[in-house]
Chains A and B, each alone.
Chain A
Amino acid sequence: MQYDLLSLQPVLPEIFMLGAACVVLVVDLFLSQRTRYWTYGLTLAALVGAIAVTAWTATSGTQVLFDGSYVRDPVSDVLKLAILTIDLFVMAYARDYLDQQEIYRGEFYILSLFATLGMMVMASANNFLTVYLGLELLALSVYALVAFDRDSIKGAEAAMKYFVLGALASGMLLYGLSMLYGATGALNFLEVSAAIASGNIDETVLVFGLVFVVIGVAFKFGAVPFHMWVPDVYHGAPTAVTLFLGSVPKIAAFSLAIRLLANGAGGLSAHWSDMLTILAIASLAIGNIVAIAQDNIKRMLAYSTISHVGFIFLGFIAADSRGYGAALFYTVVYALTAAGGFGLLTVISRKGFDAENLHDLKGLNDKSPWLAAMMMLVLFSMAGVPPTVGFFAKLFVLEAVIRVDMVWLAAVAVIFSIIGAFYYLRAVKVMYFDKPIDDQPIIASVDSRLAISVNGVAILLLGIFPAGLLAVCRAAFVG
Chain B
Amino acid sequence: MTADWPILSVTIWLPIIGGLLVLMSGDKAPGVSRWGALLIALLTFALSIPLYPGFDASTAQMQFVENRPWIPMFNVNYHLGVDGISMPLILLTTFITPLVVIAGWEVIQYKPSQYMAAFLIMEGVMVGVFAALDAMLFYVFWEAMLIPMFIIIGVWGGPRRVYATIKFFLYTFLGSVFMLVALIYMYFKSGSMEILAFHDLKLGMTEQVLIFIAFLLAFAVKVPMWPVHTWLPDAHVEAPTGGSVILAAIMLKIGGYGFLRFSLPITPDASHSLDWMIIGMSLIAVVYIGFVALVQQDMKKLIAYSSIAHMGFVTLGFFIVFIIVSRSDVHAGAVLGVQGGMVQMVSHGFISAAMFLCVGVLYDRLHSRQIADYGGVVNVMPWFAAFMVFFSMANAGLPGTSGFVGEFMVILASFRADFWFAVLAATTLTIGAAYTLWMVKRVIFGEVTSEGVAALQDINAREALVLTSLALAVLVLGLWPAPLVEVMNASIGNLVQHIGVSKL
Please list the residues of chain A having a beta carbon within 8 angstroms of any beta carbon in chain B: 365, 369, 373, 376, 380, 385-387, 391-392, 395-396, 398-399, 402-403, 407, 410-411, 414-415, 417-418, 421-422, 425-426, 428-429, 432-433, 466-467, 470-471, 474
Contacts and interface: CB of A to CB of B under 8 A. Distances in A.
A373 B184 CA distance: 30
Interface in B104-118: 111, 114
Given A385-B143, A425-B166, A429-B162, A418 B173 contact: yes
B184 A380 contact: no
A422 B166 contact: yes
B154 A433 contact: yes
Contact of B185 (A407, A414, A466): A407
A322 to B, nearest CB: 9
Contact of A421 (B73, B111, B151, B170): B170
A392 B184 CA distance: 12
B184 A398 contact: yes
Contacts of A474: 73
Given A385-B144, A385-B146, A387-B144, A399 B74 contact: yes
Given A402-B181, A432-B155, A466 B144 contact: no
Contact of B178 (A365, A411, A432, A433): A411
A402 B162 contact: no
Contacts of B141: 386
B150 A402 contact: no
A467 to B, nearest CB: 5
Nearest to A392: B71
Contacts of A410: 181, 184
A471 B144 CA distance: 24
Contact of A403 (B23, B72, B188): B188
A433 B162 contact: yes
Contacts of B23: 369, 373
Interface in B180-199: 180-181, 184-185, 187-188
Contacts, number: 90
A369 B114 contact: yes
Contacts of A414: 177-178, 180-181
B472 interface: no
19 contacts: A365-B114, A391-B140, A395-B184, A403-B188, A407-B185, A410-B184, A411-B181, A414-B177, A414-B180, A421-B170, A421-B173, A425-B166, A425-B169, A428-B150, A429-B154, A433-B162, A470-B73, A471-B72, A471-B73
Interface string B262-290: 00000000000000000000000000000
8 tightest CB-CB pairs across the interface, nearest first? A414-B177, A386-B140, A433-B154, A467-B71, A386-B143, A402-B184, A387-B144, A418-B174
A398 B188 contact: no
B184 A425 contact: no
B288 to A, nearest CB: 28
Nearest to B74: A399
Chain A interface, DSSP helix/strand/loop, else mixed = helix
Interface of B: 23, 26, 69-74, 111, 114, 136, 139-141, 143-144, 146-147, 150-151, 154-155, 161-162, 165-166, 169-170, 173-174, 177-178, 180-181, 184-185, 187-188
A51 to B, nearest CB: 25
A423 to B, nearest CB: 11
A387 B140 contact: yes
Contacts of B170: 418, 421-422, 425
Nearest to A466: B71
Given A365-B114, A395-B180, A414-B180, 19 more contacts: A373-B23, A385-B144, A386-B140, A387-B140, A391-B140, A395-B136, A395-B184, A407-B185, A411-B178, A414-B178, A414-B181, A418-B173, A422-B166, A425-B169, A432-B154, A433-B154, A467-B71, A467-B72, A470-B73
A410 B84 CA distance: 35
A467 B73 contact: yes
A415 B147 CA distance: 19
B155 A433 contact: yes
A468 to B, nearest CB: 10
Given A402-B181, A421-B173, A385 B147 contact: yes
Contacts of A395: 136, 180, 184
B185 A402 contact: yes
A469 to B, nearest CB: 10
Contacts of B169: 421, 425
Contacts of A387: 140, 144
Contacts of A418: 170, 173-174, 177
A243 B155 CA distance: 30
A346 to B, nearest CB: 25
Contacts of A373: 23
Contacts of B173: 385, 418, 421
Contacts of A432: 151, 154-155
Contacts of B162: 429, 433
